[in-house]
Amino acid sequence: MKAIVLEAADKPLVLKEVDNPGLAPGEALVKIKAAALNRRDYWITIGKYAGIKYPTILGSDGAGIVEAVGGDTDRHLIGTEVIINPGSGWGDDQNFQSDDFKILGLPADGTFAEYVKVEVQQLHTRPAHLSWEQAAAVPLAGLTVFRALFTKGKIKKGDKVLITGVGSGTGLFALQFALAAGCQVFATTGSGEKMERAKKLGAAAAVNYKSQDWAEQLLHLAGGFDVIIDSALGDGFAKLPDLCNPGGRIVIFGGTAGNIPALNGRKIFWCQLQVIGTMMGSPDDFKAMVAFVNEHQIVPVIDAVFPLADAAEAISKMEHSSQFGKIVLKP
């Protein structure tokens, strides 16, 4: 099969012929109809991700058709249209993943290929209202944001929610999911055009995080927030506690803009705020996320679709955050 292989730190990504993976009982081979990018693919290609190994087939998100299974028990799955939970080995505790937790596209070989091998428990029926490209965009970002908003952030109808960097793959799912849950959603983003696009999608207001006074603008527009979903961290993070209502929750799962700066700790304890870390999600979160996507007929925002061979060009779009939504690859 053809696959996008990361061969070494200083080598460009190449599309090359590799062996089809063999299957053990409990495993399935999925013929990929579409795959999608996450920022981790970019971090891995620039060497900024833990545990990088060579060679690796990148890609955590995929949708396709089950072509083969290991053993006889799962033969009924052959021919089914699926999306793939990129995480496996979560373990028994809903609160955090086990040491055996693995993600497709490092360390397991990923979806930027004609076929991918996964465990059958990772397979979920493709939402019928989504095209292959849209279905492939859902798994990792949808899962992470679903857990961030509901399992950890405990959003409820009427809450005021802030999404930072809303143009990201995760940010737009956060906007769509929080709106579907009946929240009033505000956003930060990096350009005037993206501010307008976020408002068209239902954001009550959007401000540019590059303005000096973005936090003051938000306070003026919204008053304060019950839940903030942040995957940027960086200098801007220092202002987030000041934007929270008493008892507010800031849920974090990424650090696109750097690390956490010095914080006003007094604000955090006096207002009984919580800063909560989250990481992808459990199989239960994934199942609930897919049900939510079906129930609310969520349609992911696709920024662009590239042929698989152009994966390097697609990933380079993330360098300057020029995308608005998910970037998709088609084998």
The site for ligand NAP (CB under 6 A) is made up of 38-40, 43, 140-141, 144, 164-171, 188-190, 194, 209, 231-232, 234, 236, 253-257, 279-280, 318, 321
Cβ proximity to ligand NAP, 275 vs 318, nearer residue: 318
Give the strand pairing for 225-230 and 160-163: parallel
Least Cβ distance, residue 179 to ligand NAP (angstroms): 16
Least Cβ distance, residue 162 to ligand NAP (angstroms): 11
Cβ proximity to ligand NAP, 191 vs 294, nearer residue: 191
Which of 97, 79, 77 lies closest to 89 in space, CA to CA? 97
Least Cβ distance, residue 248 to ligand NAP (angstroms): 18
Least Cβ distance, residue 176 to ligand NAP (angstroms): 13
Q: How far apart are CA 253 and CA 275, in angstroms?
A: 11
Q: Which two tokens stand for residue 162?
A: 């802030």
Cβ proximity to ligand NAP, 70 vs 306, nearer residue: 306
Cβ proximity to ligand NAP, 37 vs 183, nearer residue: 37
What are the residues whose beta carbons fall under 8 Å from the beta carbon of 157, sequence distance 6 or more?
181, 182, 183
Burial 143-179 (b: 16+ CB within 10 A, else e): bbbbbbbbbbbebeeebbbbbbbbbbbbbbbbbbbbb
Are the beta carbons of 242 and 267 closer than 8 angstroms? yes
Q: How far apart are CA 109 and CA 199, in angstroms?
A: 38
Torsion of CA 268, 243, 157, 184, to 10 degrees: -170
Task: Enumerate the H helices of 181-302 as residue ranges.
Answer: 192-200, 214-222, 240-243, 265-270, 283-295
Least Cβ distance, residue 53 to ligand NAP (angstroms): 18
Cβ proximity to ligand NAP, 21 vs 153, nearer residue: 153
Cβ proximity to ligand NAP, 8 vs 50, nearer residue: 50
Least Cβ distance, residue 105 to ligand NAP (angstroms): 12
Cβ proximity to ligand NAP, 35 vs 318, nearer residue: 318
What DSSP string runs through 43-85?
A: HHHTT-STT--SSEE--SEEEEEEEEESSSTTGGGTT-EEEE-
Least Cβ distance, residue 237 to ligand NAP (angstroms): 9
Q: What share of the chain is helix, strand, coil (3-state, %, to 5)?
A: 30, 30, 40
